[in-house]
Structure 1
Amino acid sequence: MLQPVQDSSDCFVYSENDLLKNCQLDKDYQLSEFDIQLRKSWDDKMKNGHFRYHLDKVETKIIPGSLKYVAQLNVKRATERRPPQNITIVNQPFDSKVFNFTKVKEDEIIFRLEKSENDGQQQCNGHTDSKNEKRNIVMVNVSPLEYGHILICPDIDASKPQLLDEYALKLAINCQLLSKHKGFRLGFNSLCAFASVNHQHVHAYYLEQEIFAEKCPVQHLKGPVYELDVIPCKGFVFQLFGSTVDQLTIDVLKMTEYLQSNEVAHNVFMTRGTAFGDNNKEDTIRIYVWPRAKFIGIKEEAAFNVAVVELAGHLPIKVEKLYEDLTEELIFDTAREAALPEEEYKNIKDNILKLYHS
């Protein structure tokens, strides 16, 4: 039987009123109470040595080209991170005998995250109560790719494999809306799409630089579904603008559940950005879903993996020589390795669109 991870530290309780659905992206970076608490705890844990390395030597540059990729040299993430698990299928069952997030050290936990049904904040002592038995744990990623890199583990004691469900997706959207920092990003890698641990979790971190996923043009397909075709690995896009959190959750989940049930590897990325349309300047949440070629087995360390943040325009680079010589053309060549064959992608696209009304 699994021993539950301890979370006797802090608990961040939020209500519907704390969800920031419009932050005016043209303004400077700002912080909400969620950002302040998260960043303070993250800084303290970095100072006290709870990470495998520091981020003080991460070099950043913008790659010339149409998409202006943000490349960062982060060699230590490749050399000092925990060895990834052997993953063979998208629906691989949870295995309590291998590493999972119930086994992390208490010092790695930032806070427990809980939504209150009341409008005001409440105190929480970190213990499960009868009204909310699901413990959502936010912890540091001990091998960070950028500042504030955390893992959000929904309902951690349920021991779910790395699949998205309604509860996890809605919690992720809420976390995006709790932040007032326009550079706060969230990402989900399915199994066979560079997920390293088969225990339900979502990545989140801060990136000060703008990425193309925030504002790039997309093509309307049907109902709430749009398509991104400016990179070799095509994908689908949803937005909060003109919708609600509940409806957005339902719309995205239709797609991810189809991909999961059909053993299609996928990556999901979430960021603040502009609403779709050439002249639309409204702030919204964009959610990208990329069906992609499977990567089977234990990951081979390459120059960079085509996982969720790479597809969105942020490239953590592992090899200094490649960082120096990187061009947009070389990035596209690598991204093509993740793209499905055109006929397979078209078949998935046709089947997915049948799930939505016009």
Structure 2
Amino acid sequence: MFKFYDSESTEILDNSQFVQLLKMKWKEIHDTTNVFRYKILNSQERIVDGKYLLQLNPNRQSKRRFPEQINDICQPFDKNKFNFTKVSKEEILFTFKESAAEDIHAVLVNISPISEFHSLFCPFVNKCLPQVINKDTVRLAINIMLLTQDRELRIGFNSLCAFASVNHLHCHFFIEKNCLPVENVKCKKLKGVLHCFEEGLPVPAFCFEILQNSQKLEEIFTLLNYFLEKSIAHNIFITKGDAIEATGEVIRFIVWPRKSSFGAKQLVAFNVAVCELSGWFPIYNSEDFHNLNTESLETELKNWKIPNFEDLCEELKFLF
């Protein structure tokens, strides 16, 4: 399905070794170079009420690149601002392309990582597309999840006005051993293949169940395209999780519509982007790390809940 290449354009490994390749290359750069703005060493974590994962990462607040000013969900790409064609060669973990295609997709280290192995997936990197989701990126992300059996891999996407930091098309690759609340929350059918979370999590979301022979690409992009047309900010999380209508473990494609955030990303105790919505909180200072509880976490999450979710559900039923 994919062909992977190192920095010298030499073909490496096969599809089944995707996660192993990412981990190996990331560790090599992390441990032997000064590419990262800070190291991920001896990270502290705690589980709040058996539900929410907190990880202490003070360096991400003080040492990361300052986020870009974002004012529109479809803001055009600006070649004069930072983008992923400007990264150093040392930041490239590997590149890959589909067997019969010429488009190059890059996997880069995130030099200000949330956690160990946190990387950036930059599809069609040389086309300099803005941070606006498209159908081919959705297809690539789903295929990557389908080719690996590794339970720890997650893929995240923050739209513009949903705490994306860079206006150049990219997703996040996360490797996390802990189970997250969105992976086993009960879901109910809205219409057709469109589901939403039942009560239990503070921010409602839509969910699709992905199987090897049922990828639902058209239906997923019907939803995402609606959000783009209506300028609804959104976050996407792709993960292994409990089946909704099938049996066993499936891929959950989760989409949160949410209130927009304008301007540059704020650096407070935590920002509500895709990780936080999934139940995973990178925390910037020790006091908050030890003192935050379920009530305070959920109060901040609810601040970003779209106010008309029930009305939105009724509108979407006409599309499915």
For the superposition of Structure 1 and Structure 2, which TM-score range results when normalised by the shorter chain? Answer: over 0.9
Partner of 1:258, secondary structure, is: helix
- Alignment counterpart, residue 276 of structure 1, candidates 223, 234, 244: 244
Alignment match, 2:214 = 244
TM-score by length of 1: 0.83
Change (3 A) 1:83 1:201: same
Contact 1:12–1:113 at 8 Å: present in 2 too? no
Deviation of residue 133 (structure 1)? Answer: 2.1
Structure 1 distance, partners of 2:118, 2:146, is: 17
Alignment match, 2:253 = 287
- Alignment counterpart, residue 74 of structure 1, candidates 57, 74, 89: 57
The Cα offsets for residues 255-277 of structure 1, whole Å up to 9 and x where unpaired, read as 11110111100000010112115
Partner of 1:309, secondary structure, is: helix
Alignment match, 2:158 = 189
Partner of 2:303, secondary structure, is: helix
Deviation of residue 241 (structure 1)? Answer: 3.5
Alignment match, 2:185 = 216
Contact 2:71–2:263 at 8 Å: present in 1 too? yes
Alignment match, 1:37 = 21
- Alignment counterpart, residue 259 of structure 1, candidates 227, 232, 238: 227
Q: Indicate whether 1:175 and 2:136 are aligned.
A: no
Deviation of residue 9 (structure 1)? Answer: 4.9
Gaps of 5+ in 1: 1-5, 19-31, 117-130
Contact 1:12–1:112 at 8 Å: present in 2 too? no
Gaps of 5+ in 2: 1-5
Structure 1 distance, partners of 2:148, 2:42, is: 26
Contact 1:35–1:180 at 8 Å: present in 2 too? no
Q: Indicate whether 1:202 and 2:167 are aligned.
A: no
Alignment match, 1:161 = 130
Contact 1:9–1:109 at 8 Å: present in 2 too? no
Alignment match, 2:275 = 309
Alignment match, 1:227 = 196
Give the residue type in structure 2 aligned to 1:34: F
Give the residue type in structure 1 aligned to 2:310: K
Alignment match, 1:127 = none
Partner of 2:29, secondary structure, is: helix
Further displaced range: 194-203 or 319-328:
319-328
Give the residue type in structure 1 aligned to 2:40: L
Structure 2 distance, partners of 1:300, 1:105, is: 26
Alignment match, 2:47 = 62
Deviation of residue 13 (structure 1)? Answer: 7.2
Contact 2:146–2:212 at 8 Å: present in 1 too? no
Structure 2 distance, partners of 1:12, 1:269, is: 28
Change (3 A) 1:35 1:69: same
Structure 1 distance, partners of 2:138, 2:256, is: 16
Alignment match, 1:53 = 38
Deviation of residue 156 (structure 1)? Answer: 0.9
Change (3 A) 1:92 1:142: same
Alignment match, 2:3 = none
- Number of positions where the alignment pairs a residue of Structure 1 with one of Structure 2: 313
Alignment match, 1:93 = 76
Alignment match, 1:346 = 310
Give the residue type in structure 1 aligned to 2:240: R
Change (3 A) 1:242 1:99: closer
Give the residue type in structure 1 aligned to 2:174: Y
Deviation of residue 81 (structure 1)? Answer: 0.8
Give the residue type in structure 2 aligned to 1:33: Q
Structure 2 distance, partners of 1:283, 1:91, is: 35
Contact 2:57–2:284 at 8 Å: present in 1 too? yes
Identity score, percent: 34
Contact 1:13–1:114 at 8 Å: present in 2 too? no
Task: Please give the root-mean-square deviation of Cα atoms over the aligned residues, in Å.
Answer: 1.8
Change (3 A) 1:57 1:244: same
Structure 2 distance, partners of 1:104, 1:45, is: 14
